[in-house]
Every structure is written in C-alpha cells, then in structure tokens.
Amino acid sequence: MSLKLITINRQSTDFAKVKYLFKHSFPKDEQIPLWYLLRKAKRENLDFWGIYDDNRWVGLTYCITYQRLTYVFFLAIDPNNRSKGYGSQALTAIKQKYAGNKLALIIEEVKKAAPNYEQRLKRKQFYLKNEFIPAVFTLTEGKTDYELLMYNGNVDSKEYVELMANYGGVIFRWYIKTRIHPK
C-alpha cells in the first residue's frame, strides 16, 4: 500500500466525504470552519490533502509549513478504513512529502481523569509507534490541554507559536490563546 496525497478543494470529487469526516472526527471546539481552511490552503506552504489508496479516498490531512517546520494540523482516516494501516501509511506519506522538515502535531494531553483516557492513550501510543516523540513542553489552547509530539528534530515552543502566528495572524492567535507549560 502506497498512499498519495492529492489537493482537496470544493470541486474535488470527494469533497462531501471530506466535509463529513472533518465534522465528525474532531471535537467541535477544535474545529476551524472549513471555508477558512480552504481559503488559507490557497496560500503557499498550506496544504489540504485528500489521502488516497490508488484512486480510493481514505482520509484527509491539513498541513502548515513555516520555515523548516511542518505542522500536521488535522489528520483523519475515514471510519470505514480504520484499523487497516492507513494512519501509519498516511504519516509515512506526510514524512516523505515534507522530507527534511521537522514535523509536529498536538494531541489531547493524556490524563487519567479524562473521560476519554483510553482513546487519548491509544492515540499517543499510535504516534509514538510512528516515531514521534514528546516535546519538552505542553500547551493549552482554549480550555484544552495538549501535548506536542515531534518527528525529525526538536520543536521548541517559540517555533510553534511563530508557526501559528504566521498561519492565522493576530486575531487567530487571540482566539486560540496558546499558553505554554514547560514539563
């Protein structure tokens, strides 16, 4: 299985599936309006990808690149295609697409008191299995605590904040209200 990343836009054949998956894969407070993601993806260094196994759509990812750091903002595999190795293969495709860049992503912090503790733990184990490692800081955005995981080099908090500021500007940064916590 060798996955391809193909640009997604409103005219894409699978756009309705992408829209549905996006809406149902991420908590409401973590979702950014799809129109905003699509508009931003027209800029250089912003990519909204459909993930394809040959010509069959299996998921989506949205990546932001700033300098030599690529942030995997969203990654979701269609529920009908989960547990088939597509998540790991998608990460491999992302690693190849952005070869030479450091990669980063955030996950909900793994806390035993969390109502979805098992889900959080499985998600973290998945990324660790795929060669991501924890950063030396955690962060809070809105009301949610996150862990930053990285691949191919260390990502410091300044790089993350700069990437997000470059992506969304002052209003986005004000809305998200990122707070950094050293470990």
pLDDT digits (tens, 9 = 90+) for 105-120: 999 999 999 999 999 9
- Average pLDDT over every residue of 15-36: 92
Q: Is the pLDDT of residue 174 over 80?
A: no
The model's pTM is 0.94
Structural domains present in the chain: 3-182 (3.40.630.30)
Q: Is the pLDDT of residue 94 over 70?
A: yes
Torsion from C-alpha of 1, 49, 154, 123, nearest 10 degrees: -70
Give me the chain's average pLDDT, please. Answer: 94
Q: Is the pLDDT of residue 1 over 70?
A: no
